Structure 1
Amino acid sequence: MTISPETKTVRIERTYATTPEHVWRLWTTGEGIESWWSPDGFTVVVGKLDLRPGGELSYTMTATAPEQIAFMEGAGLPLSTESRKTFVDVEKPARLSYTSLADFIPGVEPYDFLTVVEIRPEGDGVRVTMTMDAMHDEEWTQRLTAGRANELDNLGRVIDAGEGPA
């Protein structure tokens, strides 16, 4: 993981023992997203998925584990939040980018931030590089980074277990 204060971006990389097409399906189908997208202690249900530039992904993330429920309640955040992303680039199976609407943070005006996902063959596997815009402050950037790193670890577990859409 690299946080670059100069460009105000965060980059996380993982290598998985699978094909670019498999990673693509996990990242771009409702079943795939629901199998790994949420951080530990949360679940995700996809409501809309229109995979094209300008198309939208909307999903509801819900805290389900006692620790996450306590954290959300203690931070004054709802247990469930609907998230919306708008696709910018859709280049099967190599690149996906989208803006995310941060409209759930108490006391902060809603804003969009960009995420770029690059999926590249590497050796016998696939290298996934996720580059995200930093959020409005250091605390939320760290939360974003920890959450996305956990999600990529979950993606690895789904791949290793042979789960998700084939």
Structure 2
Amino acid sequence: MEAAHSRQAAPGACSAFARFTLCGGGVGIASSFAVAALASCIPWSLANAFVTAASTLLATELHARFTFGAGRHATRRQHAQSAGSAAAAYTVTCLAMLLLQQLVATPGAVLEQVVYLSASALAGVARFAVLRLVVFARNHSQATATTTAVRPVHTAPADPARLCPAA
């Protein structure tokens, strides 16, 4: 049953993106409350670092099991690559906020939220692409290789006319 479960078909791009948004958004909302609660006891930057590390681990597990259809724990390599993509996304949002502060002397809360959420959305789309195409892509190619490896080899000679049809 384990082998059949690990050969779960990968969801389509739209389905995976919806799952990514649901998992990432849920973890993000929970993280915002966790940072606020933890920041009442320790400095905000330290609370943010702890919560970011924990939420990245949790989100990577959710993405491995649910979003990208692997159906099992994320590997250490996947956690490391996911952490790298999360760090890049974090950098993008920080740079967007720094740029806003350079361009607008005293931005209002609404403008700050628009810039932050826009940068987060763009970084999220890029992160989705990295996770789907790089971090979790190998699981699906390995599962495909496993299922094709058990198929019998067809030894009949190939028909050259079928390989190179006339133009």
Whether TM-score is above 0.5 comes out as no
TM-score by length of 1: 0.31
TM-score by length of 2: 0.31
> Normalized per residue, which structure has more helix?
2
Name which one, 1 or 2, has greater alpha-carbon Rg. 2
> Normalized per residue, which structure has more strand?
1
RCO higher in structure (CA 8 A, sep ≥6): 1
